[in-house]
């Protein structure tokens, strides 16, 4: 199944509303979740239009999506060491290399919004260990992880900030950069789905659950 857009915390929705679609996916039997977003880059190696495969995240939202009564889909205090599935990250990296699509890797920090960041905020987030910043993704990924759903995330770097010469950014410019990078992101995800389905079929036919994968670094 696919979502056309998403609910954002900055729009005034509660965390339960923002993450409700993930709960529905879980009840429908979804095992893997792909998430994408537009993000501001703080890594000086990044360029506008880059695809950043998310390797980890920082939750900087003022409300936690698991706050309140614990749902029986997962433990009260879920471990978050491998929130983004390393095998999926490696699969995406292999596909990008084969298709000669430039990708970068980094940590995504999720913030409330809805303002774009000040230069000082960009620098602070980068000092905290983040490579890209956005206003979504983290709540949904946390709930998916709590449900035992394997997750893969990718960001389109639509603007850059925190450097000596900050560049003003508008929503229209962000959309333009995201639209330009979307075909490359779609190509990676489409191929990931095809190969994942083939792997699942192979496991069903051979009853072999071990598949050699390259070591992810």
* pLDDT for the residue 102: 92
**Integer Cα distance of 55 and 109 in angstroms:** 11
> Distance of CA 151 to CAs 14, 162, 173, Å?
22, 29, 28
Mean pLDDT (the chain) is: 87
168-197 pLDDT, tens digit each: 666 676 677 777 788 899 999 999 999 887
Helix (H) / strand (E) element for 123: namely helix 119-127
**Integer Cα distance of 5 and 176 in angstroms:** 16
> Distance of CA 109 to CAs 48, 129, 192, 193, Å?
18, 9, 24, 26
Helices (H) and strands (E) in the chain, counts: 5, 5
Its pTM stands at 0.85
3-41 pLDDT, tens digit each: 988 899 999 999 999 999 999 999 999 999 999 999 999
Is residue 154 helix, strand or coil? strand
82-132 pLDDT, tens digit each: 999 999 999 999 999 999 999 999 999 999 989 988 889 999 999 999 999
Size (the chain), residues: 217
| 65 contact partners, CB below 8 Å, separation of at least 6 | 15, 16, 18, 19, 139, 140, 142, 143
**Integer Cα distance of 125 and 109 in angstroms:** 8
Beta bridge pairs of residue 134:
110
């Amino acid at each position: 199944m696919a979502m056309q857009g998403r609910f954002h915390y900055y729009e005034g929705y509660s965390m339960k509303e923002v993450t409700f679609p993930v709960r529905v996916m879980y009840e429908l039997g979804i095992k893997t979740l792909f998430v994408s977003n537009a993000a501001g880059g703080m890594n000086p190696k990044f360029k506008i239009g880059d695809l950043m495969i998310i390797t980890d995240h920082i939750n900087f939202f003022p409300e936690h999506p698991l706050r309140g009564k614990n749902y029986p889909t997962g433990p009260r205090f879920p471990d978050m060491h491998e929130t983004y599935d390393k095998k999926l990250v490696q699969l995406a990296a292999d596909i990008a290399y084969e298709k000669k699509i430039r990708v970068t890797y980094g940590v995504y920090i999720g913030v409330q919004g809805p303002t774009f960041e000040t230069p000082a905020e960009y620098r602070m987030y980068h000092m905290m260990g983040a490579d890209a910043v956005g206003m979504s993704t983290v709540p949904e990924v946390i709930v998916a992880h709590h449900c035992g759903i394997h997750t893969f995330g990718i960001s389109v770097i639509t603007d850059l900030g925190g450097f000596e010469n900050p560049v003003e950014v508008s929503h229209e410019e962000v959309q333009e950069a995201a639209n330009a990078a979307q075909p490359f992101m779609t190509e990676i995800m489409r191929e990931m789905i095809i190969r994942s389905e083939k792997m699942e079929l192979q496991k069903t036919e051979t009853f072999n659950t071990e598949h050699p994968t390259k070591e992810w670094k």
